[in-house]
Amino acid sequence: MTGGAATMIPKIKAAWPNTPYDMVAQFSPLYYTWDQEDWAEPLTFDEMPNLRDVAPDMFYRNKKGEILTVPASMSGAFWGYRKDICPVEIKTMDDLFNPKLKGKVVVPIATQNLNSSGLSFAVAQGGNEKNMEPGWQYLKKLAQSGNIGRVANGAQDFANSLLTGETVAGYWNLAGWAVVVKQFPCEFLIRDKKQAPGFQVFTLNEGFLIPKVSKKKKEAKEFLNFFMNAENNESYNKSCGLAPTNLKSKASEVAQVIMFPNKDDRAKFLWDTDYGTLSAMRDEMIRRFETEIVPAIK
């Protein structure tokens, strides 16, 4: 689902309400599960004042409007290509069908970020999380074209494919792209929704949650409040190649590509991904990817 973070879910579920954890790092595709299971301790600005410096739309809230997460990092997945070896200039999603890209496109498996790559195809065809069918048909068409050269099972798989030149264009999150751009010039396909639908940043963030059964909730809140001050949030994210969530922190050079302080720009270039809807379709998406897409790849 989201790599190592997802392995915590069955561990918490099996041990609940005797889970030994006082705080757990998770990614936004998993917040929905915490909310549905009612595991998370609600958080307040009074208890954790440094959260006031976090962009309001970074928090995951329950139906009561209570804050459940401490957003530590912002990331997002998006399309891009290696400028030094890509044989064509990619401007819209349809350019991925160019015959010059035969075997040169890398796509993630359906479990990665809950198939947000499939969502990008759906958006390109006027769909969304609640209407993924156009994306499935588009992805199947791309597979049949012969242009998919690699289905990446993880970040290393993705990065190696681009670093070796096996593929030249693909979709992954910021951390994966950060590895590639350190060695080769890349063009990140982050465009205005109206100009190139599907070429947006499909957002996700890493955050901490405190189990409501923790016996050290006070200490966990104090630590995470300290962790979230501007200096610490900036240092942490620069070390892991992600973007800070504290508005007073500065992003590293590579992370700046997904930073849009202006609200209007965020509306143009970011897609606020509905992982709750995608999560409900997880098993079906895995089945369709394995039975419809993988066999169609030439």
Give me the CATH number covering residue 103. Answer: 3.40.190.10
On whether both 100 and 193 belong to a single domain, the answer is: yes
Using CB atoms within 10 A of its CB, is residue 137 exposed (0-12), middle (13-18) or buried (19+)? middle
| Span 247-295, pLDDT tens digits | 999 998 889 999 887 889 989 999 989 988 998 898 999 999 999 999 9
Task: Tell whether 55 and 85 lie within a shared domain.
Answer: no
Are 184 and 124 in the same domain? yes
More confident residue, 111 or 69: 69
Q: Are residues 289 and 165 in the same domain?
A: yes
Mean pLDDT value across the chain: 94
Quick one: CA dihedral 262, 186, 196, 121, positive or negative?
negative
Instruction: Please indicate, yes or no, whether residues 148 and 289 belong to a single structural domain of this protein.
Output: yes
pLDDT in tens, 106-147: 999 998 888 999 999 999 999 999 999 999 999 999 999 999
Tell me the torsion sign for CA atoms 131, 136, 142, 145: negative
On whether both 191 and 126 belong to a single domain, the answer is: yes
Per the omega criterion (within 30 degrees of 0), is the bond before 17 cis?
A: yes
Q: Are residues 18 and 166 in the same domain?
A: no
**163/281 same-domain check:** yes
Please tell me whether residues 47 and 67 are part of one structural domain: yes
- Both 23 and 146 in one domain: the answer is no
Domain count, the chain: 2
Q: Which domain holds residue 159?
A: 78-202+276-296
pLDDT digits (tens, 9 = 90+) for 38-66: 999 999 999 999 999 998 888 999 999 99
- Between CA 81 and CA 113 the distance in angstroms is 20
Specify whether 117 is located in the same domain as 65.
no
Residues 184 and 285 reside in one and the same domain: yes
Q: How far is CA 91 from CA 96, 144, 189, 197, in A?
A: 9, 21, 8, 10
pLDDT of residue 1: 41
